[in-house]
Amino acid sequence: MSSVILRNVNKSYGNLPIVKNLNLDVKDGEFVVLVGPSGCGKSTTLRMVAGLEDITQGDIQIGNKTINDLPPHKRNIAMVFQNYALYPHMSVRENIVFGLKKSGADADTIKNKLADVSEMLKLNEYLDRKPADLSGGQRQRVAMGRALARDADVYLFDEPLSNLDAKLRHHMRTEIARIQHQYNMTAIYVTHDQIEAMTLGDRVVVMRDGIVEQVGTPMDIYLQPTNTFVATFIGSPAMNLIEAKIEGEELVFDNYRLPATKIANVDMHSLRAHDSVLVGIRPDFFEDSTLSSPSDNLFEFNNIEVNLVENLGFDKEILFKLGGEDAKARLDLRSHVKRQEHISLSVDLNRVLLFDTSTQGMLLNAGEV
């Protein structure tokens, strides 16, 4: 296992920049997830680490050795591809041991590794089949097995679950997390699925347009997003952002006046420099007022008209208007709201975030970050 360091890495195709000045340290044994919308440069970054794309500028180090000019086969990296890329003319067994054989492992090691991997991924009964005779989930497991059988310094995953159905994806997500912890692998995982990012990553790197927007633990990113892009990209349903006027020490929208002083982490001094702010409230942090226990840090949005109720089983998502925008709240099954009812929703002001309307950055008390 090894650490991976990216220093001022740039990638452009002709004049079109894809990755801009990317810096990232992946520690030994750490699982880092790159997440972002399509075209944000996350896959390109991964492929640069793999050596499948040239680096336009900057350095990539693996285990403190700069590998910019090292061809892929000399980097000792294992990779799981989005489309699996199994060798169609080889059996599952041959696919799994191909890399091991190539690295010159002896027969015993190969045998043991194959047994380990096929046991772990439940591939025992398929070892003699060809990839064409496997289902999508099985192929995906073979692709994982092929990477895991290798004794690589770094493991790369390029959206490995995106071709699976929801149930299988959930299962494989758990498996990957378990295997990574078991082997203490250094891994970089690319996904556009924020649930995968949250559940798998020791740290999550949120990217947009070739730029790293935020690096942090999943909970950091969920609770303290640095800007509105991260705030809305991570978390489902997306965070509600409502523009509010600042009047004295109150944030005003619709008929609601939120006491700014009670919002955590906010520096009143810097707040006064603004006319308006974006108030960010995650749908998960709304509660049905009839069910919430009273606390002096709760703010109550009363007289809210429910436009739509989506029942998801344990949760239900309700749609309503807040500050002229569509807003969502996620309530649990104790709440019995119905469409077109008028209800009260309360929010713990500690959970409310404020963003600059022009820079979209989070407004923080410098001392609290």
Binding interface with another protein (CB under 8 A): 50-52, 71-73, 76-79, 81-89, 98-99, 102-103, 130-134, 136, 139, 146, 150, 156, 163
β-pairing verdict for 65-66 and 353-356: unpaired
Residues 242, 248, 249, 250: what is their CA dihedral angle, to the nearest 10 degrees?
-30
Provide DSSP, 11-35. Answer: EEETTEEEEEEEEEEE-TT-EEEEE
Q: How far is the CB of 161 from another protein (least distance, A)?
A: 11
**Main-chain dihedrals φ then ψ at residue 53, nearest 5 degrees:** -130, 145
CB 253 within 8 A of CB 244: yes
Q: Which is nearer to another protein, 77 or 251 (CB)?
A: 77
Provide DSSP, 252-291. Answer: EETTEEEEGGGSTT--HHHHTT-SEEEEEE-GGGEEETTT
Helix and strand tally (H, E) in the chain? 9, 21
With CA atoms as reference, report the closest residue to 162 among 133, 204, 192: 192
Q: Which is nearer to another protein, 147 or 239 (CB)?
A: 147
Q: How far is the CB of 74 from another protein (least distance, A)?
A: 8
Q: Which is nearer to another protein, 8 or 135 (CB)?
A: 135
Q: How far is the CB of 305 from another protein (least distance, A)?
A: 46
Q: Which is nearer to another protein, 89 or 272 (CB)?
A: 89
Contacts of residue 287, Cβ cutoff 8 Å, sequence gap at least 6: 331, 345, 346, 347
Q: How far is the CB of 153 from another protein (least distance, A)?
A: 12
Q: How far is the CB of 155 from another protein (least distance, A)?
A: 10
State the maximum Cα–Cα separation within the chain, in Å, rounded to a whole number.
Answer: 76
Residue with tokens 């119905």: 338
Counted residue by residue, the chain has a size of: 369
Q: Which is nearer to another protein, 84 or 285 (CB)?
A: 84
Q: Which is nearer to another protein, 20 or 130 (CB)?
A: 130
Q: How far is the CB of 145 from another protein (least distance, A)?
A: 12
Q: Which is nearer to another protein, 100 or 241 (CB)?
A: 100
Q: How far is the CB of 147 from another protein (least distance, A)?
A: 8
